[in-house]
Structure 1
Amino acid sequence: MRKPLQFIMAGIGTEIGKTVVSAIIVEALQADYWKPVQSGALEDSDTETVRRLISNPVSRFHPETYRLREPLSPHAAAAIDGIEISLNAFALPQTTNHLIVELAGGLMVPLNNQDLMIDLVKQLDLPVLLVSKHYLGSINHTLLSVEALQSRSIPIRGIIFNGPETPATEAFILNYTGLNCLGRIEWGTEVTNEFVSRHAIDLQKKLNEYDGGLHE
């Protein structure tokens, strides 16, 4: 029986498109979804966005460990809410299905005065799918993210590029890091269920192609 695939969805920064890419992979795998920390937008959270964008009837949505009112870095939003985020409070949802875990912000975002988002990644002990968005400076941010993960021996199962194809940038990142490109997501004028489903079909092929490596 095929072992469920479980990944952490990380981005090279904020507003990189992790939630849309998460929806595409959730749809491709009919996976469960979990956002450990939601900062702000509690009425229209990332969990609700992914729920709205997918079409399959299988995926389950697990509640956030922390729901913070302000759209700030988790450590600052938690302070306003009068709480302190603790790494000990996080535990992977119990599921036999595939699972996508979406981080809040970039890898070096603080959870509290001692711990960063990357410390949560290390604790959860799942491989990472890294989303890189094309913009001036994205090569630097992508390589820094890869280096931060590798320095902590956190496995990276591939990169997903977001935005119009930029061959020179993509070629350099892939050649320098030796990582696989799992997909390219070109945003249209509107992100719809059809948009997600179309990209999910393409990404599903890549996930199947790298299935052996993804299980390592």
Structure 2
Amino acid sequence: MPRGFVVTGTDTDVGKTMTTAALALWLRHAGLDLAPMKPTQTGASRDAGGLWHAPDLDYTLGMLGLDPDPAERVLMQPFCFEPACSPHLAAAPGETPPSVAAIAAAAAALAARHAAIVVEGAGGLMVPLNGSEMMIDLFAALALPVVLVGRAGLGSINHVLLSLEALTARRIPVLGVVLNETRPQDPADAFIRADNPRTITRFSGVPCLGALPFIPEPTPARLLSAAQALPGLAAAFAPLLQGVAP
């Protein structure tokens, strides 16, 4: 089985991609040979040479300063589609839809090239991959622990706890929760943002690894600094970093 972890979210547009890039930067800075993977990307496009480009993967690769060869890129983004919709709707007639088996095979091949992988999901846990499989089925098959990303403000407790219940029901281990400030925050809501991590942990028993601040113009340095400020990363990723030279 591959080594690494999954980044998934309570919903779409909760900051999974920025969180993936921030965690990957932190781990690579710690010396881990970590490769990113975006198994299903809708809203993708082809370049002049016909190679698919997955925007979320491109963002993370850019932040990491990585330029994989075409063969490795295919492993990192095995299913790309142009329509910006749920993966199960994106495959045109005659196209192969995403499947757990095919993605797991690509993940294993990518993991054979690197010490670990980080797999970014699409949308939330119950997003359909095809007519019979959902994103959560993929995570169960990969047997990798999950980092769950939620919004930092009002409403995150309900969404996070529901997602954690679904993961627990499938016996999928969870490394922790990252709350993400996806937009400028109202100072009047600071008491809510301060309470959310405590309440999520109290009701779920899952640690909150910290909150990523809103970064209007992200750069690798700013993302790394934000990740370094997350108090729970060292404990959560200690097993993955075991034996890695500093």
Task: Tell me, in whole angstroms, the C-alpha distance in 2 between the residues paired with 1:88 and 1:56.
Answer: 27
Structure 1 SS opposite 2:165: helix
Task: Tell me, in whole angstroms, the C-alpha distance in 1 between the residues paired with 2:148 and 2:194.
Answer: 18
Give 1:89's match in structure 2, choosing from 88, 102, 116.
Answer: 102
Q: Which residue of 1 aligns with 2:211?
A: 184
How many positions carry a matched residue from both structures? 210
Q: Which runs of 5+ in 1 are unaligned?
A: none
Q: Which residue of 1 aligns with 2:166?
A: 148
Give 1:63's match in structure 2, choosing from 69, 73, 76.
Answer: 76
Letter in 1 for 2:9: G
Task: Tell me, in whole angstroms, the C-alpha distance in 2 between the residues paired with 1:99 and 1:27.
Answer: 12
Task: Tell me, in whole angstroms, the C-alpha distance in 1 between the residues paired with 2:10 and 2:173.
Answer: 15
CA-based RMSD of the aligned residues comes to 2.5
Letter in 2 for 1:181: C
User: 1:5, CA displacement in angstroms?
Assistant: 5.5
Q: Give the conservation status (yes or no) of the 8 Å contact 1:54–1:196.
A: no
Q: Give the conservation status (yes or no) of the 8 Å contact 1:24–1:54.
A: no
Q: Which residue of 2 aligns with 1:119?
A: 137
**2:198 equivalent to 1:200:** no
Task: Tell me, in whole angstroms, the C-alpha distance in 2 between the residues paired with 1:211 and 1:194.
Answer: 20
**2:40 equivalent to 1:37:** yes
User: 1:46, CA displacement in angstroms?
Assistant: 0.8
Give 1:157's match in structure 2, choosing from 160, 164, 175.
Answer: 175
Structure 1 SS opposite 2:61: helix
Q: Which residue of 1 aligns with 2:91?
A: 78
Measured at CA, do residues 74 and 28 of structure 1 come closer, stay the same or move farther in structure 2, by a change above 3 Å?
A: same
What TM-score does the superposition give when structure 1 sets the normalisation length? 0.86
Structure 1 SS opposite 2:91: helix
Bigger-Rg structure (1/2) = 2
Q: Which runs of 5+ in 2 are unaligned?
A: 29-33, 46-52, 242-246
Letter in 2 for 1:200: A
Q: Give the conservation status (yes or no) of the 8 Å contact 2:40–2:98.
A: no
User: 1:72, CA displacement in angstroms?
Assistant: 0.4
User: 1:121, CA displacement in angstroms?
Assistant: 0.5
Task: Tell me, in whole angstroms, the C-alpha distance in 1 between the residues paired with 2:93 and 2:225.
Answer: 40
Task: Tell me, in whole angstroms, the C-alpha distance in 1 between the residues paired with 2:143 and 2:117.
Answer: 13
Q: Which residue of 2 aligns with 1:28?
A: 26
What TM-score does the superposition give when structure 2 sets the normalisation length? 0.76
Task: Point out 4+ residue stretches in structure 1 off by more than 6 angstroms.
Answer: none
